[in-house]
Amino acid sequence: MRKLVLAASMALLTACAAPQQQQINFMPKAVLSSSEITSDATFNIVSKDIRSAQYVALVDSGRSNIEPIHSKQNVRISLENALLEQLQSQGFRNTVNSENTVELEIQEVLVSVKHSVMENEMDGKVVVEVTAENAQGKLVKTYTGTAKRTGAMSASNQDIEMVLNDVVGLVLKEIANDSELKEYMQERF
C-alpha cells in the first residue's frame, strides 16, 4: 500500500512540474454593418470545426522540433459568435426554431512559423465555408484569408496572435461584404 501511495504521489508531482503548453488569444472581431438590410428575417446558426488538429499555430525553430500552440478560446464558438454578431448587425434575428439555417464550417485556422534567433517568417491561412439554406434552396460559399509576415528576431506569441487575428478579420470582412450572400439571405430568409 505504501508503494502505491508513493508512486501516485510521484506521478502527481511530475505532472505538476511538467511545462504547460503555450496558448494565444483568439479573438475574432465581427465586422458590424452600419445599416440593416432586413428587419424580420430569422435564421438558426450552427457551426462545426472539421480541422484535423486543434492547434492554431505551428512553430518551427529549426532544431528538429515543431511546437504546436493552441488557442485559449474555443475556435468554433469564437468564430460562430463573431458571424452571429455580424448577421445581427445586418438585421437578421437568430432563433432556435427558424426554417432558415446558416452553417459555418471551419476547415483551416493555422499560422505556420519558421524562426531563428535572427529572423522569423509567418504564413497564416484561414478557410471557412458558409452555407445559407432553407426549403427554397442552398448557397454554399468558401472564404479564404492568407497573410505572410517576416520580421527580425524570433516571433513572439503576441506576433503570432496578431497574424492569426488579422487573417480571421480579413475572412470575416469578406463574409460581411459578400453581396451575393447578403442578397440570397435577404430574398429567401
**3-state secondary structure (DSSP) of residue 181:** helix
d(CA 96, CA 23): 33
- Does the residue 6 lie in any domain? no
- Does the residue 3 lie in any domain? no
What's the pLDDT tens digit per position in 75-85?
999 999 999 99
Our CA angle for 79, 96, 171, nearest 5°, is 20
CATH number at residue 131: 3.40.50.10610
- Does the residue 16 lie in any domain? no
Tell whether the model's pLDDT for residue 17 goes beyond 50. Answer: no
Does this model's pTM top 0.75?
A: yes
What are the helix (H) ranges across 107-156? none
Mean pLDDT of 25-30: 91
Tally the domains of the chain.
1
- Does the residue 2 lie in any domain? no
Beta strand extents in the chain (DSSP E only): 23-24, 42-49, 57-60, 66-71, 93-94, 101-115, 119-134, 137-152
CA distances in angstroms from 99 to 35, 43, 89, 129, listed in the order given: 24, 7, 20, 20
More confident residue, 95 or 151: 95
What's the pLDDT tens digit per position in 141-183?
999 999 988 888 777 888 889 999 999 999 999 999 999 998 8
Answer whether 139's CB lies under 8 Å from 180's CB.
yes
Residue 181 sits in which domain range? Answer: 22-188
What are the helix (H) ranges across 51-188? 75-89, 157-176, 179-188
When mean pLDDT is compared over 26-35, 59-68, 152-161, 167-176, the highest value belongs to 167-176
Report residue 18's pLDDT band, with 50, 70 and 90 as the boundaries. Answer: very low
- Does the residue 154 lie in any domain? yes
- Does the residue 53 lie in any domain? yes
Report residue 19's pLDDT band, with 50, 70 and 90 as the boundaries. Answer: very low
- Does the residue 11 lie in any domain? no
- Does the residue 76 lie in any domain? yes
Q: Which of 91, 92, 60, 73 lies closest to 24 in space, CA to CA?
A: 73
Report residue 4's pLDDT band, with 50, 70 and 90 as the boundaries. Answer: low
